[in-house]
Chain A
Amino acid sequence: MDKKKQLETLALVFGAAVVIGAIWFWSLQVGDALDTLRLAYPD
């Protein structure tokens, strides 16, 4: 496989991993932030 093909494949796989990773990471952070807000303002 030539270098360009390898980079294209890598870019596509990396892109999918980044999208999944970012959704996972930011949903955790936002979830934690919402929990903190709920504790601070129970009503």
Chain B
Amino acid sequence: MDVLFLFEALDQSALANISKAYGGIFAVVQMFHLLAMALLGGMILVCDLRLLGLILTDISSERICKDTQKWFDAALCVMLISGIFMSSAVALKLYYNAMFWSKMSGLALGVFFVYAIRRPLLGFAHSSVNPWALKSVALSSLIIWFSVAASGRWIGFS
């Protein structure tokens, strides 16, 4: 299914008029996007490195994963909303950029992974879960979100 019409609609939208015309507003939204990215990355790192047994080993991994998940959810919401606004400024350019689609594929995979596998599995007592499955979850999470962030940066180089 070709989604070019969605990008054309976004390019012609009121959102695009604002993002293209007001550099200050774009910069503020971008700041929130980057702050949310730092928060999301931080929450991922803290939870996954704890699951791998590398940091904060004196605190239970259940507590850390539960506490970081809510901040992860908030950061993801901010990133999605600010990301749509930012992409409206260069919607057609992004449509033809291969790395943008890599980033979106990684993001979709990451969201599926977090809400369909990671969160349900981490809802069980971690001591009752296969330790290799926990380590696999942590490693997958680190790789997926690193790839999403790196693909996002790579858009600027391609």
Contacts and interface: CB of A to CB of B under 8 A. Distances in A.
B127 interface: no
Interface in B113-131: 113, 117-118, 120-121, 124, 128-130
A14 B140 contact: yes
Interface in B11-52: none
Interface of A: 3-4, 7-12, 14-16, 18-19, 22, 25-26, 29, 33
B124 A12 contact: no
Nearest to A23: B143
B117 A7 contact: yes
5 contacts: A15-B136, A22-B144, A25-B102, A25-B147, A26-B147
B92 to A, nearest CB: 23
B139 interface: yes
Question: How big is chain B's contact interface, by range?
Answer: 20 to 34
B145 to A, nearest CB: 11
Nearest to B124: A4
A1 B139 CA distance: 25
Contact of A14 (B117, B120, B130, B134): B117
Given A4-B129, A15-B140, A19-B140, 11 more contacts: A7-B121, A7-B133, A11-B118, A11-B136, A14-B113, A14-B136, A14-B140, A15-B139, A18-B144, A25-B147, A33-B157
